[in-house]
Amino acid sequence: MKVLKSRTIKVLAIATVLFAGVATTVVNETGNYFEIAKNIEIFANLYKEVNTYYVDEIDPAKLMRTGVDAMLESLDPYTNYISESQIEGFRYITEGRYNGIGADIRIIGDMPTIVSPYEGSPAQIAGLKAGDQILEIDGKDAKGKTTDEISAVMKGYPGTEVQLTIHRPGESKNLKISLVRDEVSIPNVPYSGMISEDVGYIALTVFTRDAGQNVAKALEDLKVEQPNLKGVILDLRDNGGGLLAEAVNVSNVFIPKNELVVSTKGKVKDWDRSFKTLNQPLDEKIPLVVLINKNSASASEIVSGVIQDLDRGILLGQSSYGKGLVQNTRDIGYNAKVKMTTAKYYIPSGRCIQAIEYKQGEPAEIPDSKRTAFKTRNGRKVLDGGGVRPDIFLDHDDETDILRTLEEKHFIFNYVTEWVLKNAEVKSADDFHFTQWGDFVQFLEKQNFDYDTESEQLLKELKGKSKEDGYISEADIKALEAKIIEAKKNDLNKNKELITDMIEKEVVSRFFYEKGRIKVGLRNDMEIKEAVKLFGDKARYDSLLKG
């Protein structure tokens, strides 16, 4: 008990010193010293009492982490505590590289499963394949572990070894594979190329280090390949952001030197900054279409917002996420950091695209009546709050219940794992087309595939209400249930084209990795087709920019 109390006192002493440092900083600005000091003392006393007298042994670090996470969660979704064990993950987010084995690992069923080894990574070199289930890591059972727990073990210093026991579909015996950890680099421009005779395409997936330089290099290569380039598509769909400096650098590829890109404003006025382009652009005239969707966030919204505000190009797709907040990291000791929202950012028109309202941690739809109007350089009306709205809005038809279930429950992934065992190697991403629809339907039948629709959920609520008020008969309920069952039977064939596209991308990724997945996806991409069509209609392109 003395050891336990001694440990508690040490932890509290450190915590008190750290909090006191914060308190003395805050008192000068807010005058809340007494409230801060009082609550720190209450917290310390509470922690000591729980640690000393709680019926079971507790883990001080885990208990403290729970409290810290809950405290920061009450602020906004982007202010987080980063422990020493999470530093490698943080490094990947900012730099696009980390030390580990280089594989996307997810829990499928209750087994950690290789979803995709990265091209050129230790995982790929050692022969790991998509679909491999990890049974043991260094002799310890991996079943039931979370992705965070698996990731923490897999990451480590370059040159160190990790031993895996895996079950590979189609193999009767388990395999033992030894991997040597190394620095893994994930390219932020995984693919660029010509998608028609005179239109180029650049995919930017994250704003890590050198994103601007890599986008510029991709554009240079396209111009060499096609000197008469008619237009370029910059794809920022599903790009969750990254480094603010790289948002400026990517914008600078297309807009002039000394142009304002973004301003940041927060509580600490000395930290307010304006960021302008520093270099001559690679091409400030070439027609440009930027693709965005609901998962384009942060730095993606800066770039797309700047292109729109300066009337430099056309935005196409769906409204972006709505993250107009800037985070900075502060060291807090013991190799830990706090990633903290310190400012809001404002793009050239003066608008901030931060979502005004949240629902279950996600930005909520905001009516135009709650948004303030601003003007682009050409005088076009744009709105603040709730993300960047595209100039050409295309409604997506891939958000249905059946497609979501096929992906989230890994039916597509598991089917392709079986398909690869039974089929010869795919020789070309360009030439591959999936033609075994009946085989896929049979697979789903064997798996007892089913899914809940929004209509079914509403019907369950209606069923409960009808018992209370008696307005709707049981026969009416059964008739509605029968209609839903019939509609669900037709859903597969109704979504055949989209499901086939999902299968083709997954199959090709097994042989040609992320580049192959993107390349195959482009040929069936509604937004790509619309962008190419727009480049062929200069009058429409120009009129959209003039407003």
Q: List residues with catalytic annotation.
A: 298, 309, 323
Is the predicted pLDDT of residue 441 greater than 80, yes or no? yes
**Tokens encoding 97:** 């590289």
Does 480 or 95 have the greater pLDDT score? 480
- What average pLDDT does this structure show over 424-437? 92
pLDDT value, residue 189: 97
Residues 251 and 259: their CA atoms lie apart, in Å, by 10
Identify the band that residue 8 occupies on the pLDDT scale cut at 50, 70 and 90. Answer: very low
In this predicted structure, what is the pLDDT of residue 60?
Answer: 83
Residue bearing the bigger pLDDT, 4 or 131: 131
What b-and-e string marks burial along 79-96, b requiring 16 or more CB atoms within 10 Å of the CB?
A: bbbbeeebebebbbbebb
pLDDT tens track for 30-62: 557 788 889 889 988 988 899 889 899 988 888
**Distance from the Cα of residue 436 to its chain's centroid:** 31
**Structure-token match 């499963």, residue found:** 113
Q: Which stretch of 1-10, 413-422, 437-446 has the lowest confidence by average pLDDT?
A: 1-10
Whether residue 488 has pLDDT greater than 90: no
Sequence letter at residue 195: I
Between CA 211 and CA 201 the distance in angstroms is 15
Who's near 196: CB < 8 A, 6+ residues apart? 532
Q: How far apart are CA 289 and CA 319, in angstroms?
A: 15
Q: How far apart are CA 252 and CA 261, in angstroms?
A: 9
Is the pLDDT assigned to residue 125 strictly greater than 50?
A: yes
d(CA 364, CA 110): 33
- Half-sphere exposure in the Cβ direction for 206 (13 Å, CA): 14
Q: Tokens 């299968």 — which residue?
A: 503
pLDDT tens digit string along 271-301?
A: 899 999 999 999 999 999 999 999 999 999 9
Largest Cα span, the chain: 81
pLDDT in tens, 232-264: 999 999 999 999 999 999 999 999 999 999 999
CA angle 483, 486, 487 (to 5 degrees): 85
Distance CA 392, CA 468 (A): 47
DSSP letter for each residue of 320-347: -----EEEEEEEEETTEEEEEEEEEEE-
**Alpha helices, DSSP H only, in 253-397?**
299-309
Residue 68 and residue 15: Cα distance in Å, rounded?
A: 12
The encoded tokens of residue 328 equal 């900075």
* Residues 6 or more apart in contact with residue 57 via CB below 8 angstroms: none
Residue 190 has pLDDT above 70, yes or no: yes
pLDDT in tens, 340-387: 888 999 999 999 999 866 666 677 777 888 889 999 999 999 999 889
Q: What pLDDT is stored for residue 346 in this prediction?
A: 96
- Report the chain's mean pLDDT, rounded to a whole number: 87
Radius of gyration of the chain (CA): 27
Q: Report pLDDT for 27.
A: 40
Average pLDDT over every residue of 104-124: 95
DSSP reduced 3-state for 514: helix
